[in-house]
Structure 1
Amino acid sequence: MARAVTNRRKTITTAAAWFIAFLIFFPILWTVLTSFKTEATAIADPPVFVAFEWTTENYGTVMERSNYFRHFMNSVVISIGSTVLGLIIAIPAAWSMAFVPAKRTKDVLMWMLSTKMLPPVGVLVPIYLIFRDTGLLDTRTGLVIVLTLINLPIIIWMLYTYFKEIPNDILEAARMDGASLRSEILYVLTPMALPGIASTLLLNIILAWNEAFWTLNLTAAKAAPLTAFIASYSSPEGLFYAKLSAASTMAIAPILIMGWFSQKQLVRGLTFGAVK
């Protein structure tokens, strides 16, 4: 029998959830507000929250100084390209781990995930030299490859958990009907795990979009995404907080909008198989 929850407890829980959500969202809100301030107001002490003269001058300066749309397109190509390439590799890999009996599958998964624990700076020099010698430095192709390899363990791990929730009997029935391996993966497995695949795709687009370490170290101008666009507003002359906030707002707005409209699909995929 379910335990009754009092209205008072519901109210307290809801208020606590909203308070925590506001604390998490506050840095983004502050960045957006600062982008509409003058530089003098942005560094005022004590800080001014909303009682200031609003201006869009910072956005105009950012657009004049930088080619925002080129950085935006680089981010789109790199994040979507690396995610799609990762899914092409990860779906067969996760299928083999989920449905082909093996004694050390969990050990392999743990080893793959452990590669995410390595500090990226530890392999920066060899990867930089490889990219320099192969002509991949400061190219979209190079960043797609490196971000695919970085996020591949997470993609495989997530897809593996989703595939494990699919009854093996369905795949065996497809094999008895004469389905080839390719048909089994494309026309039986993939449609059934579509919510999990969609959430994996969305999450990894966000991870690739926000990746800063590799994009800053492996690009210069041609393939620089929005993370490099933001970093360009940190100069030896100092930080211009209002202009930096405007650049940051322009960089995070697309991914925030995408996350807002896809939140139902993301939650559905992340909870796929959680309730029996």
Structure 2
Amino acid sequence: MSTLTVKPKPRAAGKRAARKPGGDPVATAKQRRRNAGLGLLAWVVGILFALPLLWMALTSFHSESDAATNPPSLAAPLTLDGYRTFFGAGGGPTPWYALANSLTASLVSTALVLVLALPAAYALSIRRVRKWTDVLFFFLSTKMLPVVAGILPIYLFAKNTGFLDNIWLLVILYTSMNLPIAVWMCQSFLAEVPVALIEAARIDGARLPQILLRVIAPVAAPGIAATALICFIFSWNELLFARVLTGVVAQTAPVFLTGFITSQGLFLAQVCAASLVISLPVLAAGFAAQDKLVQGLSLGAVK
């Protein structure tokens, strides 16, 4: 007996080949052009944002006469005179004490903010208290009062209690200033922590401090890092409280920077050099924690 063999039809094979993903060369070319256009736009936006910082860095290496020219000269000779003046090479004040004050106030206040914000966020996200939305609104309402509106009573309080020109007063103010933001951020981050992990820790006999440190903190580490970085940046860049409430002993880096604007005029090269040096700690912290910052700010954005 002869065996019949059935050959597959070419049309069916053609249909199966047409169903494969990415088979349309026109659509693929359009997608590639779209991705290339978005990438080019991202580069242009990034360069526009970085251009002022790059211009400040270039101006800091010019002399005062070259920095004051209009239009500025890109081919001007480079010098380190602005940095020498900033670091007190000519017999002027040195910035080390102001930088140490800023570092102390920023780090201590950020640590206190995290210690206070994590239990509050835990109570507002996982073990929710009654009317927790009203509590969140109360935290947000504390940011509605302009800082300049409360500077006078704070100054009178500091004067009567002997806290003027005291770095610990800035620590307290920076903590209270950043605490509402930290509670809001940590509440949204802790809401994404799986409840099953917390219940398992409770069954094993873990108490609240152990749950916060050993269960919640590792899971929400990107969000906590993002919160800490934002609080550190806000504390480092704060000027109004430091300008009004400090003098010499508790002077911070932004206050020291304003000393380059004198009645004799604006020394542009020196100001650019000082601004670049004072910005380096924030830039270094942001660069070191950029992966955690991106993960933390995008935590919970996509289910």
Provide the TM-score with structure 2 as the length reference.
0.85
Name the structure 2 match of 1:22.
47
Give the Cα separation in 1 of the matches to 2:216 and 2:283: 31
Aligned letter for 1:165? E
The alpha-carbon deviation at position 264 of structure 1 amounts to 1.3
Whether contact under 8 Å (2:68, 2:268) holds in the other structure is yes
Name the structure 1 match of 2:96.
69
Name the structure 2 match of 1:230.
257
Unaligned runs of 5+ in 1: none
Greater gyration radius: 2
Match status 1:98 vs 2:125: yes
Give the Cα separation in 1 of the matches to 2:276 and 2:60: 7
The alpha-carbon deviation at position 100 of structure 1 amounts to 2.3
Give the Cα separation in 1 of the matches to 2:56 and 2:70: 16
Whether contact under 8 Å (2:225, 2:289) holds in the other structure is no
**Bigger shift: residues 259-268 or 98-107:** 98-107
Match status 1:36 vs 2:57: no
Aligned-residue Cα RMSD (Å) equals: 1.9
The alpha-carbon deviation at position 78 of structure 1 amounts to 0.8
Q: Pick the aligned partner of 2:81 from 57, 81, 85.
A: 57
Deviations 1:5-36 (A, max 9, x none): 62221121111111111111122111111111
Q: Pick the aligned partner of 1:183 from 210, 213, 225.
A: 210
The alpha-carbon deviation at position 103 of structure 1 amounts to 4.8
Give the Cα separation in 2 of the matches to 1:263 and 1:66: 34
Give the Cα separation in 2 of the matches to 1:258 and 1:185: 24
The alpha-carbon deviation at position 83 of structure 1 amounts to 0.3
Classify the secondary structure of the residue corresponding to 2:143: helix
Classify the secondary structure of the residue corresponding to 1:258: helix
Aligned letter for 1:8? R
Deviations 1:187-219 (A, max 9, x none): 222222122111211121111111112111111
Deviations 1:68-113 (A, max 9, x none): 1111111111111110011111111111111223452223213312
Aligned letter for 1:154? I
Name the structure 2 match of 1:129.
156
Q: Pick the aligned partner of 1:47 from 72, 97, 116.
A: 72
Give the Cα separation in 2 of the matches to 1:42 and 1:111: 48
Classify the secondary structure of the residue corresponding to 1:6: helix
Aligned letter for 2:41? A
Whether contact under 8 Å (2:123, 2:129) holds in the other structure is no
Give the Cα separation in 2 of the matches to 1:21 and 1:116: 30
Give the Cα separation in 2 of the matches to 1:63 and 1:102: 52
Name the structure 1 match of 2:17.
none
Give the Cα separation in 1 of the matches to 2:66 and 2:113: 45
Counterparts of 1:1-276 in structure 2, within 5 Å, are 6-48=31-73, 50-64=74-88, 65-276=92-303
Q: Relative CO higher for 1 or 2, CA cutoff 8 Å, sep ≥ 6?
A: 1
Aligned letter for 1:53? P
Give the Cα separation in 1 of the matches to 2:218 and 2:161: 38
Give the Cα separation in 2 of the matches to 1:99 and 1:6: 43
Report how many residues are paired: 275
Aligned letter for 2:99? F
The alpha-carbon deviation at position 51 of structure 1 amounts to 0.8
The alpha-carbon deviation at position 251 of structure 1 amounts to 0.7
Give the Cα separation in 2 of the matches to 1:253 and 1:128: 30
Give the Cα separation in 1 of the matches to 2:256 and 2:214: 41
Aligned letter for 1:63? F
Change (3 A) 1:24 1:236: same
Provide the TM-score with structure 1 as the length reference.
0.93
Name the structure 1 match of 2:5.
none
Unaligned runs of 5+ in 2: 1-20
**Bigger shift: residues 104-113 or 209-218:** 104-113
